[in-house]
Structure 1
């Protein structure tokens, strides 16, 4: 009702009001009004909203697990919602620990939400999956990561966890991703990891290195 009265009253002003300023003011008031409603119950003023900024507000809402409201506000004001979706994905994976949700179901849910947001880092979400002891989910998410360096770093992290079979599988994937990137520094890093950190050291696991080279001879 307040916004309706303001919209009606501006037609009687002596000077024409700036339409952009009026639009921004109405948007801020509507956001503050939405935040005051349950279950958010955030008594935020327009001045506080301006100081906090849309990015800060989105993260505050995400930390309160109000991801849907945060995403809708971002869409409303044309603000990127990448951080909101990233926070949502990480929390979903963390809270799925011990549940009946499979890796395939979690991967499908994350990929569905990430559609249309090419800037989101899948590798960072995969790292959270690895921390939650879901290596299969981590590798599934890494297949959608466009940055080879990020892919390899997470795979090398996974190679240091689990049993010998899992370690070798992750190393093979890391070698494959590094070879596909044709980045000499990345390839050297994978070889160093396979050799225990020093490819020229005396404690090199020669057998592990030979196995990797045979599997990826190019």
Structure 2
């Protein structure tokens, strides 16, 4: 950890774009739990790439508009003297370049984080998002006590681990069948939260799709399973 203000500022400058990339990817995809080494490597690697791209663009801008950009040559030669005389300009440019690097990282995360690879998905993610993204299918769950509950999927835990410590939220129209009975009853509530630990089997009914789109979805699902 840095022990000086300068070291802390340099650490923030180095890691902020990569941290932006990781956070946005997590928001747009399945939640994964990489090792600390791998996550740190992703943050540093993305930060270095985006900041290098930003510096290259700044060099181009410096060549095209020398009067509107800081004189890096003088800054290197004169050091603190030039910085004291142009601290406001240098400060604004430093902030702008850092924000531009973060914007590049955010754009890269938005373009690459929509659909993680099938190997990094949980079974819930595959059923609820991979095959028919954007839909809210009807989900039926047989619970461990023999009861059955059915409703429209509203939200689910996006963790890539098929862990029992997560929940599924269903909304109306809700139907329920008590243990040991065969008759279904409408459930007079707006939503239900079901623990994955209590689910024995799950059934998903997707909205009807045109024949061509159904064949394409089936082909995509087969390709994902093969990979």
What TM-score do you get using the length of structure 1 for normalisation? 0.23
Q: Name the structure where strand makes up a greater proportion of residues.
A: 2
Q: Name the structure where helix makes up a greater proportion of residues.
A: 1
Higher radius of gyration, 1 or 2: 2
